[in-house]
Amino acid sequence: MDRNSIEKRLNDQKDLLSNLVKKAKTNGIDQVEIYSSYGYSEDVSLEKNDLNNCTANEENMFGIRVIHEGNQGFIISNHIPSLYQSIEEAYSLAKSQSTPDLDLVLPEPESIQNHFNQYDDSLDSMGIEDLVASAKEALGWRNDLYSKVNIDSGDFSLSKGYKLIVSSKGVMAHELGAELSASVMGMGVDGDLVGSFDYDSASGFDKTQFQTLWKKAFMNFGDKCMGALYAKPISGFQGKVLLPPEAVYSFFLGLFIGSLNGTSLRKGKSKMAGKLGEKVASPLLSIWDDPTNDRFMGSTGFDREGLPTSKKSVLTEGVLETYFYNTYEAKKAGLPKSNGCATGGAQSLPGCGPKQLQIAPGKSSKDEFLKLPGKTLFVNRISGTKDGASGDFSGVIKGGYLLENGEKIPVREVQIVGNAFDALNQIEAISKEGELLGESSFVPYMLLDGFTITGVTEE
Amino acid sequence: MRNLLRECLAEESGFVELRYHHKESRSFFAERGRVESTALRKRTGVGVRVLEAGTWGFASTSDISKSSIQNAIQVAKKAARLSSALRKEKIPNLPKANFAIGDFIGKGIEDFRNRTVEEKLKLVLDIQNAAAKQSAKLQSVGCGYSEIYEEKAIVTTDGADSFFSMVRPEFRVSAVAKEDGKMESGSHSIGVTGGWDCLFRSQSPTEISDEACKTAVDLLSSSLPDGGLSTVILSPSIVGLLVHEAIGHTVEADFVLSGSVAQGKIGHRVGSDLVTLCDSGYSEYYEGAGGSIPVDDEGVIPTNTVIIKNGILSSYLHNRETAERFGVAPTGSARAWEYGDVPLIRMRNTFLMPGNSSLEEMIANTKDGYYLDGAKNGQADATGEFMFAVQKAYRIQNGKITDLLKGVTVSGLAFDVLQNVDMVSKEFKWDLGSGHCGKGQPAKVDAGGPYVRTKVLLGGK
């Protein structure tokens, strides 16, 4: 599968979907939207320090949304010959409902300014052989440098495809994409000693970018597994936690970002309701969303509704500046139109959220954090739970360290409890250094104070 | 479909496995007085797996035609040949298995077909409307009904030849309560393999809704428990999470081969005498367990696998490949989420066998501890360290339940927790059927058991 064949398929499908939408309108179905997601991928998987499987998959999924007098039906299908029947089924689902909301309409089209080309033609000369070579190289790194690290599973993938949206309101947008990606999961094992699971991943637009990022990610994975191997229990304490970028993003900030979702706000489930323009976090924290930077993986010129994306400030020195809306939620909030933040793909209805969050770096050096006096818990990863409404989170620390008097002691059986909204004001310092998570979101290290840390040993 | 798959294999000589999978998922959700979403997801295709030159090759196609399936077989073979040079440990062959042959039609499918969209929409809307009126503190109540209907046909060149189907409905209510700027949420859900009657056999939709709303409102006046190692009585839903997360994952043979904490422990004591743990493709003790499967995704009839017998580790969970490596019979534990997924070793219905105590006796015999109820989520590690999250923790003091506290998370080392089990109840319940287990791909599972008393690390203040 190469660029030419994907482009031909895309062009044929634009015609097919446009005709289906026209046919639907002719038959009295006024509001229909079809989101198409096509992907072809070749994968090589690892298991137990060995090659496991080679696979090739191709699929085209369609998300069909029909709105009829304020009611909505949604069908997801991968069967092209029956797409028109699926439109009729979605229409039937919409008609079967009795709770209309006339704010529920498909958006009017808008001009898209940013046109992305995230398909590097050099990937067309690659195939499974190259993925097998990458797998061989990674197994060599494991054997030569990390013989005590067991690779439980790993995956190398070359994927290509497109997304396309067509609607009866005149929305028509598409983008091609291709990438190389890899991930690895495993743990350190030394005799009877077993360390915590850890993982890392990388992706790139082309082979050179991918290879550089993947090698770095693999070494990071190996170091994390080895670091967790000789962990021991500690006693609990109240105090500071140091969060690396992954932990900042996945656990602590995720709850806050979720509370800015237009749907949560409308339903009264967000603690950030009515806080626009107010200080809700430490002045050290500034965040923006930028899906328009073509150096990032996954950047895009249009959202799930085919409307243009844009750069927007979320939090400036602790002051809340925006919420995230799709067309429906914007209408419910009394706004003239959405702010291009409809999320999702063919397999989901449009949600609301950011695409490429960026967190402003701070002024501290992360190395300073490692040498702080007293006790600091380095939270590599939290295996736990979080509650979107209250903001409460709790979990077990995985691959973490107790930083004490310049020493770095790997720990196990340690729990942390906190609240994401309180934590926004518990930030003591933010590092200059950070990581580009998923090659798309810049996130620095953060030092926070005032946490309850539970351990199993007595003082 | 079996005929078409057999035709595609007619001229194949090596090992080829064809798995046709059609899946329809319907979901209906109501909140704030209106139907928020109705969705139907249909996905159909064939997954092709070959064993050639000592390694696996896999390809999938959504085009259910003979030519497309045969093309996928060739793609999978090419993939296997390309990878063979790198694979160190070749797979010599696959063991004989108790293959499923014939048609296996699940219970409840007629019921699912006979109920209209309008009936399901009315259910979620009525329950949501009634629930929202229960308390002025309720900020929002959401009610969802969903069902997954699946049919599969699995034909292999070495003897599997079956068609099977099943339906899995779920019902869930989630509530958010607010007071003085404080917000709390509560949720309750059930899921089964079977029809609507099976779904609402132990609790009506209204009772499920009441429980979710009451949890959200009650938690507004709760605080955190004291953190630390604590004696706890676990409800069947929490026992389900415990045995699934803490033990089940560590005995999946692929994890064992990667070095999980269960490696080399067959025949060793890993729990108290009161602990007998099983994983079954059937619905033991009570009809409708959510992870039931008539046939696994390698075409093997699933067994009831006794993992721990009276505290002694006795079996891992196997697919055909790991069964060959360990010299045992496959347990029928190979499962794939979609046609484009390669089957992995997965749990089905994991349960602790009931004991002789009653819940009342267990509470009365606990001087200082917690009763934990309401499963949320959980994860396990290769080390055997696990965590699971609970909604509610009730303080037990001098044999009596006192205050409601926030549940937060519970953790421990799997085998330590089992060694510390000192009371197991007579009562038994499946209580994890509305969830999914994640391991690279989702899987519908269930888990449960009796009430159990043990010691765990409780997160808290």
The 10s digit of each residue's pLDDT in B343-388 is: 999 999 999 999 999 999 999 999 999 999 998 888 888 788 888 8
Q: How far is A362 from chain B (nearest CA, A)?
A: 30
Q: Which of A403, A383, A361 is nearest to A242 (CA)?
A: A403
Res A458: pLDDT: 63
Residue in A54, A197, A398 closest to B82 by CB: A54
Asked if the Cβ–Cβ distance from A56 to B59 is below 8 Å, we say yes
Q: How confident is the model at residue B123 (pLDDT cuts 50, 70, 90)?
A: very high
Res B40: pLDDT: 96
The mean of the pLDDT values for chain B is 94
Q: How far is A235 from chain B (nearest CA, A)?
A: 10
Cβ(A215)–Cβ(A145) below 8 Å: no
Given a cut of 60, whether residue B39 has pLDDT beyond it is yes
The CA-based angle B320-B326-B330, given to 5 degrees, is 30
Q: How confident is the model at residue B249 (pLDDT cuts 50, 70, 90)?
A: very high
Q: What residues of chain B lie within 8 A of the CB of A137, using their CB?
A: none
Res B101: pLDDT: 97
Asked if the C-beta of B406 comes within 8 angstroms of chain A's C-beta atoms, the answer is: yes
Q: How far is B266 from chain A (nearest CA, A)?
A: 15
Q: What residues of chain B lie within 8 A of the CB of A38, using their CB?
A: none
- Alpha-carbon span A98 to B189, nearest angstrom: 25
Q: Which is higher by pLDDT, A252 or A351?
A: A351
The CA-based angle B311-B314-B317, given to 5 degrees, is 120
**DSSP readout, B37-63?**
EEEEEEEEEEEEEEEETTEEEEEEES-
The dihedrals phi and psi of A40, each to the nearest 5 degrees, come to: -125, 130
How many CB pairs below 8 A link A and B?
248
Percentage with pLDDT > 90 across chain A: 82
Mean predicted confidence (pLDDT) in A261-267: 95
- Count H helices and E strands in chain A, helices first: 10, 22
Percentage with pLDDT > 90 across chain B: 82
ipTM: 0.90
Asked if the C-beta of B23 comes within 8 angstroms of chain A's C-beta atoms, the answer is: no
Segment 30-49 of chain A within 8 Å of chain B by CB = 42, 44-45, 47-48
- Alpha-carbon span B283 to B198, nearest angstrom: 12
- Alpha-carbon span B316 to B326, nearest angstrom: 9
Dump pLDDT digits (tens) for B164-188.
Answer: 999 999 999 999 999 998 899 999 9
Res A439: pLDDT: 83
Dump pLDDT digits (tens) for A227-263.
Answer: 888 898 999 899 999 999 999 988 778 899 999 999 9
Q: How far is A442 from chain B (nearest CA, A)?
A: 26
Res B245: pLDDT: 87
Q: How confident is the model at residue A459 (pLDDT cuts 50, 70, 90)?
A: low
Asked if the C-beta of A150 comes within 8 angstroms of chain B's C-beta atoms, the answer is: yes
HSE-up of residue A377 (Cα within 13 Å, Cβ side): 33
Q: For the whole prediction, is pTM greater than 0.95? A: no
Res B436: pLDDT: 87
Res B435: pLDDT: 77
Asked if the C-beta of B60 comes within 8 angstroms of chain A's C-beta atoms, the answer is: yes
Please enumerate in sequence order all residues whose Cβ is within 8 A of that of B158, keeping only pairs 6 or more positions apart, or say none.
B15, B94
Q: Which of B84, B82, B64 is nearest to B74 (CA)?
A: B82
Percentage with pLDDT > 70 across chain A: 100
Asked if the Cβ–Cβ distance from B342 to A150 is below 8 Å, we say no
Asked if the C-beta of A70 comes within 8 angstroms of chain B's C-beta atoms, the answer is: no
Dump pLDDT digits (tens) for A198-214.
Answer: 999 999 999 999 999 99
Please enumerate in sequence order all residues whose Cβ is within 8 A of that of A452, keeping only pairs 6 or more positions apart, or say none.
A236, A238, A416, A417, A418, B227, B460, B461
Segment 99-118 of chain A within 8 Å of chain B by CB = 99-101
Given a cut of 80, whether residue A371 has pLDDT beyond it is yes
Asked if the Cβ–Cβ distance from B42 to A195 is below 8 Å, we say no
Q: How confident is the model at residue B226 (pLDDT cuts 50, 70, 90)?
A: confident
Segment 344-383 of chain B within 8 Å of chain A by CB = 376-377, 379, 381-383
Q: How confident is the model at residue A41 (pLDDT cuts 50, 70, 90)?
A: very high
* Number of Cβ atoms within 10 Å of the Cβ of B159: 12
Segment 159-198 of chain B within 8 Å of chain A by CB = 176, 178, 181-185
Asked if the Cβ–Cβ distance from A152 to B382 is below 8 Å, we say yes
Res B281: pLDDT: 96
Dump pLDDT digits (tens) for A422-452.
Answer: 999 999 999 999 999 888 899 999 999 999 8
Res A251: pLDDT: 73
Res B65: pLDDT: 94
Tokens 């369609």 belong to which residue? A62
Q: What residues of chain B lie within 8 A of the CB of A66, using their CB?
A: none
Mean predicted confidence (pLDDT) in B66-85: 93
Segment 258-317 of chain A within 8 Å of chain B by CB = 267-269, 271
Q: What residues of chain A lie within 8 A of the CB of B393, using their CB?
A: none
Asked if the C-beta of B62 comes within 8 angstroms of chain A's C-beta atoms, the answer is: yes
Mean predicted confidence (pLDDT) in A345-372: 94
Segment 412-431 of chain B within 8 Å of chain A by CB = 412-413
Mean predicted confidence (pLDDT) in B30-42: 94
Please enumerate in sequence order all residues whose Cβ is within 8 A of that of A328, keeping only pairs 6 or more positions apart, or say none.
A103, A104, A105, A350
Q: What residues of chain A lie within 8 A of the CB of B459, using their CB?
A: 394-395, 415-417, 454
Q: What residues of chain B lie within 8 A of the CB of A68, using their CB?
A: none
Interface mutation vs chain A, best among B385, B405, B415, B458, most A CBs within 10 Å: B385
Dump pLDDT digits (tens) for A269-301.
Answer: 899 999 999 999 999 999 999 999 888 888 999
Q: How confident is the model at residue B131 (pLDDT cuts 50, 70, 90)?
A: very high
**From B2-11, B144-153, B229-238, B252-261, the region with the lowest mean pLDDT:** B252-261
Q: Which helix (H) or strand (E) holds A208?
A: helix A207-229
Q: Which of A330, A319, A327, A320 is nearest to A266 (CA)?
A: A330
Asked if the Cβ–Cβ distance from A54 to B80 is below 8 Å, we say yes
Asked if the C-beta of B258 comes within 8 angstroms of chain A's C-beta atoms, the answer is: yes
Q: Which helix (H) or strand (E) holds B104?
A: strand B101-105
Interface mutation vs chain B, best among A36, A37, A54, most B CBs within 10 Å: A54
Dump pLDDT digits (tens) for A154-200.
Answer: 999 999 999 999 999 999 999 999 999 999 999 999 988 888 889 99
- Alpha-carbon span A195 to A380, nearest angstrom: 13
Dump pLDDT digits (tens) for B253-284.
Answer: 998 998 888 999 999 999 999 999 999 999 99
Mean predicted confidence (pLDDT) in A24-47: 96
